[in-house]
Amino acid sequence: MDWKEMRKIARSKFRGACRVCPVCDGFACAGEVPGMGGAGSGTSFKNNVSALAGYRLCLRTVHAVSEPKLACRILGMDLAFPIMAAPIGGGAMNMNGALTEMEYASAVVSGCRKVGTIAMTGDGPDPELFLTGIKCLKAENGKGIPVIKPRETDRIIELAKMAEAAGAPAFGMDIDTAAFVNMTKAGQKVGPKTRDELAYIKKNTSIPFIVKGIMMADDAAACLDAGVDAIVVSNHGGRVMDHTPGTAEALPYIADAVQGKMTILIDGGIRNGGDVLKMLALGADAVLVGRPIITGAVGGGMEGVELVLNRMAGELRDAMVLTGTKDVAAVSEDILWY
């Protein structure tokens, strides 16, 4: 399967839920939630893409870096490159039934493992959604990271223990869905968490705890203070609130607050290897990718996921050579043009 064919198949299977645009930037699908778009005017999604486009890379070729190091260690996991799959739930509802929840999770968890990285799996109003992720990661010897909605703290702990029993190397909570209507409509309470509640979850679980959906330096500092192991700088792909900044705008403030004391992951609008390198230069340790991996899974199943990730890793490698960057663990902010 090649790139063009994968995208053509995805476009036809989505039946309009995603147009598979030449640039996935949130314009054609603005307001389509459920669907693949951003909330309201789609501004948060668009800001993710435009914030990244606003940074430019310094092209440097007088150096000796021809074999850059992409392999890295994140939260105790050895990854072939610092790119993971973002958690995606509600396949049937958001993707016009292009794939079942199980087909999606299994393509992504297995595809990621095959290329040497890891997928996060989602949660939602239907409890089956979380369990599907658990089943898929069990099938891959625990190689997956389940992300739990900000439910009541004791329920989060129960689900985290289920993830641990399945062999997961970490678990997450997408705290930015604190006002998610789909959950409340289904009678499942979600809400914001205090610093003490985060500390309570951390204290009562034993695998690394990732808080996903942090956009502010003070929230990042509170997570650090609560003993959280990692944050994902994220606005949920622009799906939870209109008019937030792009994640690449928020990242420098957060990296400054964290001072290397906690792992920083980020997602939102990352579309190629150059975007990955920009996020690393701005202070992230690794990135998550959402919609491009959805396109890969819908267009080519596990093979499509591998295609997307290998292509992005290849572009990252080239961008490292062309900026003189030796190692993904030590990306200088001097590769960004100010």
Ligand X SMILES: Cc1cc2nc3c(=O)[nH]c(=O)nc-3n(C[C@H](O)[C@H](O)[C@H](O)COP(=O)(O)O)c2cc1C
Q: In angstroms, what is the minimal distance from the CB of 113 to ligand X?
A: 18
Q: In angstroms, what is the minimal distance from the CB of 122 to ligand X?
A: 3
Q: In angstroms, what is the minimal distance from the CB of 324 to ligand X?
A: 27
Residue 290 in contact with ligand X, rule: CB under 6 A: yes
Residue 174 in contact with ligand X, rule: CB under 6 A: yes
- Please state the length of the chain: 338
Residue 193 in contact with ligand X, rule: CB under 6 A: no
- Among 56, 12, 17, smallest CA distance to 35 is for 17
> What SS3 string covers the chain?
CCHHHHHHHHHHHHCCCCCCCCCCCCCCCCCCCCCCCCCCCCHHHHHHHHHHHCCEECCCCCCCCCCCECCEEECCEEECCCEEECCCCCHHHHCCCCCCHHHHHHHHHHHHHHCCCCEEECCCCCHHHHHHHHHHHHHCCCCCEEEECCCCHHHHHHHHHHHHHCCCCCEEEEHHHCCCHHHHHCCCCCCCCCHHHHHHHHHCCCCCEEEEEECCHHHHHHHHHCCCCEEEECCHHHCCCCCCCCHHHHHHHHHHHHCCCCEEEECCCCCCHHHHHHHHHCCCCEEEECHHHHHHHHHHHHHHHHHHHHHHHHHHHHHHHHHCCCECCCCCHHHEEC
Residue 299 in contact with ligand X, rule: CB under 6 A: no
Q: In angstroms, what is the minimal distance from the CB of 88 to ligand X?
A: 4
Residue 298 in contact with ligand X, rule: CB under 6 A: no
Footprint of ligand X on 77-136 (CB under 6 A)? 86-90, 94, 122-124
Residue 236 in contact with ligand X, rule: CB under 6 A: yes
CB nearer ligand X, residue 208 or residue 237: 237
| Binding string, residues 24-43; x marks residues near ligand X by CB under 6 A | ------------x-------
Q: In angstroms, what is the minimal distance from the CB of 138 to ligand X?
A: 19
Q: In angstroms, what is the minimal distance from the CB of 65 to ligand X?
A: 28
Residue 269 in contact with ligand X, rule: CB under 6 A: yes
Residue 268 in contact with ligand X, rule: CB under 6 A: yes
Residue 148 in contact with ligand X, rule: CB under 6 A: no
Residue 251 in contact with ligand X, rule: CB under 6 A: no
CB nearer ligand X, residue 249 or residue 267: 267
Residue of 106, 132, 182, 234 interacting with ligand X (CB under 6 A) = 234
Residue 270 in contact with ligand X, rule: CB under 6 A: yes
Name the site residues for ligand X (rule: CB under 6 A). Answer: 36, 48, 86-90, 94, 122-124, 147, 174, 212, 234, 236-237, 239, 267-270, 289-291
